[in-house]
Structures are given as structure tokens and as C-alpha cells.
Amino acid sequence: MSGRAADRSRNSLVGYARPPAEHRFRKGVSGNPNGRPKGAKAKPKAQYDPAMRPTDQLVLEEAYRPVTIREGDTVIELPAIQAAMRALAISAMKGNRLSQKALAEITSTAEARASEERLTMMENALEYKQKWTAEIERCRRLSIDIPSPLPHPDDIHIDMRSGKVRTEGPLDESEKRDWDKRLARRDDAQAEINDYARRIKCAKSDRMRELYQAMWISEQYIFDLINDGMPDRYKLKLENRSWHADASREGKAAEMYKKLRAGRS
């Protein structure tokens, strides 16, 4: 067979699913010699445990999945459920009676549930506060160890008009430890301030007086920063307050500190 005839014969074997011989896989040779790219692992299929109520999980994932919508010239991102409610409200405002009815029912149900939850929370908080207040008073009257429940009943504030409940104090042991650290640091600052106030009166040189004054101002900032952030029940009145131009003022420590930092930057 001539060379030209051989080429025609080879070409006749090339076509769909028949690449040229030099590009075909060879026995014993990997088709991907470099291996799988780093990090390109096959992703395992999501496994759903029936005990974890997978249907509810999927519903919530879809309800809160972020979607983008356009409002005029602005594109915003919202959870899918919020976007759906916005579309329902727009349809209701355009006069669609079914949308109006659905929106009214959904709103009424949500308001009733919120009101019920608020009432339940208020009742539970009131019962807790009354119970522990009575117990603490009983222990005080009998001169026995007074318990320290968390949250403390004096830290629970109930608005009987709105039904809102707020807590101004630690809620658990972890918060209590952090709370105690801050209160202890504030007490240390007060002790340091008292010491510097005494030392500055006895200083024998201007240099020492300036040093004590600078330390006094520093500790006063710490005291005020901690104390200003405390609820009224935990606040203390600072003794030996410095009225130096650079010293912090009660209730304004954070503001003064920000201005000081801004001036240094």
C-alpha cells in the first residue's frame, strides 16, 4: 500500500468518538498524569437525619436564602421569605383581594403570637422576681446566707404597660465572672486614685507631681469607662475626682476617650 493510500485509510478511521491514534488512551498509561487538582474533592451528598426534622430544615433554609430584588434603580438583597412578603404587600396595595386577605390574616396571626409571647415572658419574669425577692428577704430576716440567683431579681425590670422585660445584670455564671472582673478593676482604679491623690499632696518635686497626676488621670479614665457602662444599681460615686483639663468626666469618658484617640491618629 502506498503512503498516500495508508493516510487515507487512517483518516477513514477518525470521526465521532474515534480520535486520531496519537491522541487515544494507551494501555497502562493514565489519562490524567498530573492527578486531580488540589482541593477538587468530590463533595459528599448531604445526609439528613430524620430525627433532626430535615423537612423543616430545608424549608427554613429556602425561606431565609438570600435573593436579590430590584426596587427602582436599586438592587437589594433580602431573605426569600421577606421578598415574598414584600411582593404580597405590593399586590395587596394594588387591589388584589386575595392578597389583601392573605396579608391581613398573616399580620393578625403574627401580632397575636407576639402579644402572647410577650405576655408569657412578662408573667414568667414577674413570678421569678417575686419568688426570689421574697426568698432573699426571708434569708435577710433570719440572718442566714443570702442567695445570689442569676439573674438577680433586682436586675429584672418589667414595664407593666408595654409588657416588655429587660435585664440589667449578668444572666449566668459566665457573664457573672466577666461582670465581677470589671467591678474588681473599677475598685482597683478607685484604690489607685486615692493613693495618687495622697501622694501628689506629699510630692517634693514638680516632676513627681506631674507623674502622679498623669497616673491619676489614667486610672480615672478606667474607672469612668467601666462605671459609665454599668446599670444604675451597680454605679459608684468616684472619690477624689481629678478636675484636671485632661481628666475624664462622669458620663462622658467614652466620648472624651474617642476624641483623645482621634487627636493622636
Per-residue pLDDT tens, the chain, 265 aa: give them: 555 555 555 555 555 556 666 656 566 665 566 666 655 555 565 565 666 678 888 999 999 999 999 888 899 999 999 999 999 999 999 999 999 999 999 999 999 999 999 999 999 999 999 999 999 999 999 999 999 999 999 999 999 998 899 999 999 999 999 999 999 999 999 999 999 999 999 999 999 999 999 999 999 999 999 999 999 999 999 999 999 999 999 999 888 878 777 776 6
Report whether 125 contacts 117 (CB < 8 A).
Answer: no
Structure confidence at residue 37 (pLDDT): 60
Distance CA(148)–CA(135), nearest Å, equals 10
Structure confidence at residue 53 (pLDDT): 75
Q: Which residues pair with 78 in a beta bridge?
A: 67
Query: Helix 54-63 to helix 80-93 angle, to the nearest 10 degrees?
Result: 60
Structure confidence at residue 42 (pLDDT): 56
Q: Which residues pair with 69 in a beta bridge?
A: 76
Question: In this structure, how many other beta carbons lie within 10 angstroms of the beta carbon of residue 227?
Answer: 21
Residue matched to cell numbers 484617640: 261
Structure confidence at residue 2 (pLDDT): 55
Residues whose CB is less than 8 angstroms from the CB of residue 106 and which lie 6 or more positions away in sequence, other chains included: 85, 88
C-alpha distance from residue 204 to each of 184, 194, 210 (Å): 32, 18, 11
Beta-strand ranges (E) seen in the chain are 66-71, 74-79, 156-158, 165-167
Cα 190 off chain centre by: 32
Distance CA(183)–CA(77), nearest Å, equals 43
Structure confidence at residue 209 (pLDDT): 95
What's the residue count for the chain? 265
Give the predicted TM-score (pTM) of the model.
Answer: 0.66
Closest CA to 228 of 238, 213, 215: 238
76: left (phi over 0), alpha (psi -120 to 50) or beta: beta
Structure confidence at residue 25 (pLDDT): 58
Structure confidence at residue 119 (pLDDT): 93
Residues whose CB is less than 8 angstroms from the CB of residue 145 and which lie 6 or more positions away in sequence, other chains included: 139
Structure confidence at residue 256 (pLDDT): 82
